[in-house]
Amino acid sequence: MPVQSEAGVGSLVAAVEAGRGPGVCAGTVTTVERVRQAAGAGAPFAVAPGLDPDIAAAALEAGMPYLPGVATASGIQTAGRLGLRWLKVFPASALGAGWIKRMHGPFPRVRFAATGGVDAANARQFPDAGARVVGVGSALEDPLQLDEPAALLPGL
């Protein structure tokens, strides 16, 4: 659930209350204030499109796991220095599944979540390359793709 505005924070609160589970996260957390709002809303974890050490520190202080977006080996190394082991590959469709496979060579303990441009046509490639999680977002707005992601679930 993106928290890029006050309305987004309200939606997050409602989703967390309705979901009462680990599947509702605070998305697009790009400021320390948004971390605080997400924690206050009861979000069990936060994700971001990029890596920000201040946001990572705020999430740690709030007791909230933080999955920042990375697209380079330098980003992975910086995340590792901050104690982060779960990272969001973003944008996954632009980086490609091969990027994940290659990054596991020098960073075998990192756990990747692939998001950003993942759809029915490419979703299977990411777990095959070593991603532990695949996030499908905007593809779910396409009625022609709704059955295909669901068909992938048993195989993941």
pLDDT tens across 52-68, in order?
Answer: 999 999 999 999 999 99
Query: How much is the average pLDDT of 47-56?
Result: 96
Q: Which residue has the tokens 């944008």?
A: 91
Q: Are 87 and 114 in contact (CB under 8 A)?
A: no
Dist. CA 112–CA 124, nearest whole Å: 14
- pLDDT of residue 20 exceeding 70, the answer is no
| pLDDT of amino acid 1 | 53
Averaged confidence pLDDT in the chain = 85
Q: Helix, strand, coil shares of the chain as percentages rounded to 5?
A: 45, 10, 40
**Higher confidence at residue 8 or residue 96?**
96
Locate 61 and state its tokens.
């202080």
Locate 120 and state its tokens.
């029915």
91-118: pLDDT as tens digits: 999 999 999 999 999 999 999 999 999 9
Which amino acid does the sequence have at 42?
Answer: G
